[in-house]
Structure 1
Amino acid sequence: MEVMPLFTEKAQSLAIMLQTMNVVKVVVEYLNPGQIPVLLSDAPLYAPLKNIHFTMVATYGEEKLFIKMSGLYTELAALRMVGKWLQEIGWTFVVVDAGVTAQGKADSVLKASHIKIS
């Protein structure tokens, strides 16, 4: 569910986040009774949503709503982890020594700096 275009207020406001969480819960319960709703969020909203998730356990606990970071950030974290592994085994040296690319480009791939997040 995309929060930004639905409301004129800031998406990070507590009222908007609670309202969104309630709407998601009601819609999922109507469409799939008994299923735990899953709410995906990008980084700016993920931390406040998880804060609500942990402080209001009776209403928004894990048995009521599952909050997950969206795919882009999950993929970015996975790419950075693979980059650390490749860096440890000397991948940059091998690629540069073979003449495939320059040192800077090889390092930027390992750090996933080619992904731009605005």
Structure 2
Amino acid sequence: MKIECKKINRTLLVKLYGEIDHHYTEDIRDKIDREFNKQVCNNIILDFEDVGFMDSSGIGMIIGRYKMTQEKNGKLYAFGLKDNAKRIFDISGLNKLIVCFTTKEEAIKSI
């Protein structure tokens, strides 16, 4: 799993690659939290364009980042969800907490 973080104004854009499963969720969480606090952000955009698979362990990681943004009066957004991740979002109800977009441009414009 590879993660790239980039700050856009007060928003952390997180590019995720590979699989989000129990092997990687702790590393993903730690890197996002570290960058979010270091960069002094209040929003997060998760880029799922290069995520091939996500299991239920990703739900907890995402909800934790959602709560973190809420504590700073921010929001959590996502875009580029493929079938597997989209299904997890729909079944778990994440799509009711997190605004999902098709493209990065749509997500950035909404902030």
Bigger fraction of residues in helix:
1
Structure holding more strand per residue: 2
- Greater Rg by CA: 1
TM range (shorter): 0.3 to 0.5
Higher relative contact order (CA 8 A, sep 6+): 2
TM norm structure 1: 0.36
Question: What TM-score do you get using the length of structure 2 for normalisation?
Answer: 0.38
